[in-house]
Amino acid sequence: MPLRSRGYAAASSDEPQFINLVQKSSFLNRDGDAIFQDPEFSRISSKETKNVNYYTAVNDALATALETDESAILFGEDVAFGGVFRCSMGLESRFGKDRVFNTPLSEQGLVGFGIGVAAQGATAIAEIQFADYVFPAFDQIVNEAAKYRYRSGNQFHCGGLTIRMPGMAVGHGGHYHSQSPEAFFAHVPGLKFVVPRSPAQAKGLLLAAIRDPNPVIVMEPKILYRAATEDVPVADYTLPLGKAAVLQEGRDMTIVGWGSQLYTLEEAVRRAEAKWPDRSFELIDLRSILPWDADTVIRSVNKTGRLLIAHEAPLTSGFGAEIAATVSEACLLKLEAPVARVTGFDTPFPLIHEKFYVPSIVRCLDKMEALFNY
Amino acid sequence: MAAPQRRGGGGVRVRPWLRHAVLFPGATCGSFYTSDLRFVKEYPTLPTYRVLDLEGQVINPAEDPGLSQERCVAIYRNMLCLNALDVIMYEAQRQGRISFYMTNYGEEATHMGSAEALTLDDVIFGQYREAGVLLHRGFTLDEFMNQCYSNARDEGKGRQMPIHYGSKRLNFHTISSPLATQIPQAAGAAYALKRSGKAAVAVCYFGEGAASEGDFHAALNIAATTESPVLFFCRNNGYAISTPVRDQYRGDGIASRGHGYGMHTIRVDGNDVLAVYRAVQAARALALRDAQPVLIEALTYRVGHHSTSDDSSAYRDKKEVADWQRQDSPNVRFRKYLERKGWWDDAAEAHAKKTLRAQVLQAFARAEKVKKPALQHLFTDVYDTLPPHLQAQQAELQRLLEKYPNELNTADFETSV
């Protein structure tokens, strides 16, 4: 029996280890220059790339942000020594203790502090150690950061604030190291929320978030920190917030996901293609939860007539519900089947039962079959 | 002295100082070992700093800040102006002309005394009962009125409830209703000020009730560890709506907590405008010199109701309020100081009250006539630009306005540009 990789528990032969899905993913660039074929990357002048994992790409983005903006500071619990996921390695010694520093263990305190820094016009990059622990800062994020500009009539804003937080399942995280709280924040006008799926995406979206003149939450799928490696442009670049990415074009079904869920969906699509050779699948990485790219999803569903949404967070009032409602309004006459959702169950995130809880390959395939048979 | 301790059979001699000094890393202020089992409950009570007695006499001449006649009169006039503003706006709410109001009665000295000690470069974060600070910094009567009327000249574009003032020009961050949220924000603003090299502090006002929120704890702690030059100014007026301090805390007020955060702390008589001025002036200098936060607790008494939605006679004796007004009014105390100096008299008082009332009423009438902000401002400033989904929602409202012009009448609103 092979050694279990760090992260996902080994499952049955039908459910390959997550790390294997990532390692064979065609969505990760392993071909240097190939990334510059993508219009979003083609405008980057330097074609130099470096093969790095997800946390190193985050580290690179943070270093770039600190280097290009003297007002930028980076802070949170344990960031000074490099962070519990190594995302801030080497930054304290490079940029100084007044720019990269530990805060007391208080999420409401460090987010409130970041709002104050940003409200003075500086750039504040705050880290919440796990997305599961963002809730003590919920009041500061929802009532304060998100409304700062609106309530002051644009006299003040805290657009320089970015909150990074590792989220999503990791194989053995239980209740409080696994959560995907994006839907809580999707209900908050004034915020932006993004979930990058890969190292190159993480660098570009994080830099865009840091430079966007609105408060942005970036949720980094922690299972990808070491697992996902690709060739990432060395240059300073950003990717657009609020835009989805079509990872694969197809005619018969639209599949929408975000974050690490995309690797599960990629494998589910491969198996679906083998099972239904005359069908093709369009896979969309939503990337931004708020504001979300409804146009890209609607255009796709109007073409395919079927939509499957998959997310790790619980079903009820998960972000899939928002997508489903919007698509139902916009694509009613084109839909061949009801919009389908494969999600976590409406329970706390379990420990030992994780593989039965997550929207796994088999659960996705089962729903695809139901969509075709409707 | 006990004999040197020995460890095991090896006879390793423990260095003598180990028996006294505590070396655990958590003992940052140093500690020593004791074999007395003793819980600590009694601490020295923090004194209350005072410059003027109730008769407006300087108790210790060395403590008189020596403010000029011009400055003293300006302070006193603003105390009266704040009262005039409060009287008229409170009545306006009672007549249904504005939706809500909160008065500042009894806390005038905390506002003017602190504001006088600050510069316009200092950045203010308030709770909601600090209108006098804004007034003293130069917020005009028209600006107060425009905000309370939610009219088109309100810098806040009519979006927040009355008294939620803000002014970029005066470095006064816009008030929000959630209590204490501004306290950690002030710490962050102070940190940014320090990094920018500006000789300015952040000043954060809050009541003793708000100090029970988690954000108070979070803020004082992070300000201390990040060495942020912020003044935490607590207005301890005895009540949080109906809740007396007895139900709010059991320690020695708010000031006693400063020590626990490793912070310079002072308690001051909040009805003594000169004591507040001196304390804030010294605290500001200390915060800038040492790059450290300072905690100031100003003891005062909330003379007015909590707000126009509150009748405070439901939970406190009217006589208690009347006694405070009669025996320890910050305005009367400072007036006596001015009269002793020969800088004020009955005629000046009567003239000031008359002209201030007239000025407030004129501003009131002007604000009432201004149209409400254009409807587009329901959607602007959620983000820096309007994202597609908000553009669609704005278009939907536009369609409804055209279809239902009577039900959704916009005559009182400025037209969109």
Domain final residue pick, A233, A254, A282: A233
Kindly state whether residues A256 and A342 are assigned to the same domain.
Answer: yes
pLDDT at B42: 85
Domain that holds residue A330: 243-373
E strand or H helix that includes residue B186: helix B182-196
Residue A19 lies in a domain: no
- In the DSSP assignment, the letter for residue A256 is E
Average pLDDT, integer, range B348-361: 98
Q: In percent, how much of chain B has pLDDT > 70?
A: 95
Kindly state whether residues A71 and A183 are assigned to the same domain.
Answer: yes
Residue A330 lies in a domain: yes
Q: Are B116 and B75 in contact (CB under 8 A)?
A: yes
Kindly state whether residues A152 and A41 are assigned to the same domain.
Answer: yes
> Nearest residue of B to residue A141 by CA position?
B181
Looking at CA atoms only, how far is residue A27 from chain B in angstroms?
Answer: 28
Kindly state whether residues A43 and A81 are assigned to the same domain.
Answer: yes
Contacts of A124 in chain B (CB under 8 A): 188
Domain final residue pick, A181, A213, A233: A233
Q: What span, in angstroms and rounded, lies between the C-alpha atoms of A367 and A315?
A: 14
**Single pTM value for the model:** 0.95
Residue B387 preceded by cis peptide, ω within 30: no
> Nearest residue of A to residue B196 by CA position?
A71
Q: What span, in angstroms and rounded, lies between the C-alpha atoms of A304 and A252?
A: 4
Q: What span, in angstroms and rounded, lies between the C-alpha atoms of B336 and A270?
A: 87
Q: Of B330, B259, B253, B320, which Cα lies nearest the Cα of B76?
A: B330
Kindly state whether residues A52 and A197 are assigned to the same domain.
Answer: yes
ipTM value: 0.95
Q: What span, in angstroms and rounded, lies between the C-alpha atoms of A84 and A129?
A: 8
Q: Are B159 and A151 in contact (CB under 8 A)?
A: yes
**Residue A364 is encoded by which pair of tokens?**
């996705």
The average confidence (pLDDT) of chain B is 94
Q: What span, in angstroms and rounded, lies between the C-alpha atoms of B166 and B158?
A: 12
Kindly state whether residues A210 and A64 are assigned to the same domain.
Answer: yes
User: Total structural domains in chain A?
Assistant: 2
B308-333 burial, b if ≥16 CB within 10 A, otherwise e? Answer: beeebeeeeeeeebeebeeebbbbbb
Q: Is B307 an annotated catalytic residue?
A: yes
Catalytic center residues of A = 107, 177
Residue A322 lies in a domain: yes
Query: For the segment A139-179, what is each residue's pLDDT rounded down to a tens digit?
Result: 999 999 999 999 999 999 999 999 999 999 999 999 999 99
Chain-centroid distance of CA B122 in Å reads: 14
Of the listed ranges A57-61, A101-105, B14-18, B387-391, the one predicted with least confidence: B14-18
Residue B30 makes CB contacts below 8 A (sequence gap 6+) with: B21, B22
Residue B267 makes CB contacts below 8 A (sequence gap 6+) with: B46, B47, B48, B49, B253, B255, B296, B297, B298, B299
Q: What span, in angstroms and rounded, lies between the C-alpha atoms of A155 and A140?
A: 19
**Contact with chain B for residue A133, Cβ under 8 A:** no
Is the predicted pLDDT of residue A10 greater than 90, yes or no? no
Question: DSSP E strands: which ranges in B191-241?
Answer: 202-207, 230-236, 239-240
Question: Cβ separation of B159 and A189 shorter than 8 Å?
Answer: no
Kindly state whether residues A75 and A221 are assigned to the same domain.
Answer: yes
B61-368, what's its fold? Rossmann fold (3.40.50)
Q: What span, in angstroms and rounded, lies between the C-alpha atoms of A227 and A344?
A: 22
Question: Cβ separation of A121 and B123 shorter than 8 Å?
Answer: no
Question: Cβ separation of A120 and B193 shorter than 8 Å?
Answer: yes
Kindly state whether residues A228 and A247 are assigned to the same domain.
Answer: no
Residue A15 lies in a domain: no
**Residue A14 is encoded by which pair of tokens?**
């039908």
pLDDT at B15: 59
Residue B5: band (very low, low, confident or very high) from pLDDT cuts 50, 70, 90: very low
Kindly state whether residues A217 and A308 are assigned to the same domain.
Answer: no
Domain final residue pick, A206, A233, A260: A233
CATH number for the domain harbouring residue A185: 3.40.50.970
Residue B12: band (very low, low, confident or very high) from pLDDT cuts 50, 70, 90: low
Question: Cβ separation of A291 and B184 shorter than 8 Å?
Answer: no
CATH number for the domain harbouring residue A347: 3.40.50.920
Question: Cβ separation of A120 and B222 shorter than 8 Å?
Answer: no
Kindly state whether residues A61 and A191 are assigned to the same domain.
Answer: yes
Residue A336 lies in a domain: yes
Q: Of B175, B266, B263, B249, which Cα lies nearest the Cα of B212?
A: B249
pLDDT at A3: 42
Please, which residues bridge with residue B204 across strands?
B125, B232
Q: What span, in angstroms and rounded, lies between the C-alpha atoms of A265 and A361?
A: 7
Residue A23 lies in a domain: no
Please, which residues bridge with residue B265 across strands?
B295
Give the SS3 label for residue B351. Answer: helix
Dihedrals φ, ψ of B244, to 5°? -75, 160
Q: Of A131, A213, A167, A182, which Cα lies nearest the Cα of A290?
A: A182
Residue A13: band (very low, low, confident or very high) from pLDDT cuts 50, 70, 90: low
Q: What span, in angstroms and rounded, lies between the C-alpha atoms of B86 and B132?
A: 10
Q: What span, in angstroms and rounded, lies between the C-alpha atoms of A262 and A256?
A: 8
Domain residue ranges of chain B, discontinuous segments joined by +: 61-368, 375-412
**Residue A290 is encoded by which pair of tokens?**
């708020």
Q: Are B387 and A212 in contact (CB under 8 A)?
A: no
pLDDT at B301: 96
Chain-centroid distance of CA A263 in Å reads: 12
Q: Number of C-alpha atoms within 13 angstroms, CB side, residue A27?
A: 29
**Residue B221 is encoded by which pair of tokens?**
């702690």
Residue indicated by tokens 């530990």: A102
By DSSP bridging, strand A192-194 and strand A288-290 are: antiparallel
**Closest in B155, B181, B219 to A153, CB measured:** B155
Length of chain A: 374
**Contact with chain B for residue A152, Cβ under 8 A:** yes
pLDDT at B13: 60
Q: Are A264 and A360 in contact (CB under 8 A)?
A: yes
Average pLDDT, integer, range A31-60: 96
**Contact with chain A for residue B184, Cβ under 8 A:** yes
**Closest in B187, B381, B388 to A113, CB measured:** B187
Kindly state whether residues A340 and A291 are assigned to the same domain.
Answer: yes
Find which of B226, B227, B231, B263 to mutate to test the A interface (most A CBs within 10 Å of its CB): B226
Kindly state whether residues A195 and A324 are assigned to the same domain.
Answer: no
Residue from B20, B55, B91, B99 carrying the catalytic annotation: B91
- DSSP letters of A1-30? -PPPPSSSPP--TTS--HHHHHHT-TTS--
A 177-236 residues inside an 8 A Cβ radius of B: 189-190, 192, 213-214
Question: Cβ separation of A153 and B219 shorter than 8 Å?
Answer: no
Question: Cβ separation of B189 and A117 shorter than 8 Å?
Answer: yes
Residue A16 lies in a domain: no
Residue indicated by tokens 């939970």: B315
